[in-house]
Amino acid sequence: MSEITIGQAVPDFTSPATGGKTIALAELRGKPVVLYFYPKDSTPGCTQEGQAFRDNFAQFQAHDAVILGVSRDSLKSHENFKCKQEFPFDLLSDPDETLCRLFDVIKLKNMYGKQVMGIERSTFLIGRDGKLANQWRKVKVAGHWAEVLEAIKNLAP
Helices vs strands, H then E, count in the chain = 5, 9
Q: How does strand 33-37 pair with strand 66-71?
A: parallel
Tell me the C-alpha distance between 83 and 149, whole Å.
Answer: 24
SS3 state at 83: helix
- Which one is catalytic: 25, 34, 46, 92? 46
Tell me the C-alpha distance between 113 and 83, whole Å.
Answer: 33
* Best CA proximity match to 105, nearest among 131, 123, 84: 123
- Verify whether residue 46 is a known catalytic residue: yes
User: Which residues are catalytically annotated?
Assistant: 46
